[in-house]
A = this chain, B = another copy of it.
Amino acid sequence: MAADNAIFVGNKPFMNYVTAVVMQFTTQDAEEVTIKARGKFISRAVDVAEIAAKRFLNGQIYVDDIKIDSEEFENKEGKQVRVSTIEITLKKK
């Protein structure tokens, strides 16, 4: 199995991410897929997981685990900034 079937959710069109998740499970035959996002894209990552699991692959995958965390980094002005992160792991039933 591939070490890490991760989809990073950002500001591309919403359906790109849903399609990417669905393709991993179907054409790539992945056992699990992790959806990752930071900051304001966290809400979107949850939408991607819900739409993939309930509309496209209903009854075929489930939410196995959800982790939240924080990342600290230095912004352009040299100021220390904190951003929240999420990792949603979907698994084949």
Contacts and interface: CB of A to CB of B under 8 A. Distances in A.
A91 to B, nearest CB: 14
Nearest to A88: B68
Contacts of A40: 40, 43
How many copies of this chain are found per oligomer? Answer: 2
A17 to B, nearest CB: 13
A63 B84 CA distance: 14
Nearest to A37: B43
Contact of A43 (B50, B54, B69, B84): B84
9 contacts: A40-B40, A40-B43, A46-B86, A50-B69, A50-B82, A63-B68, A66-B66, A66-B68, A68-B88
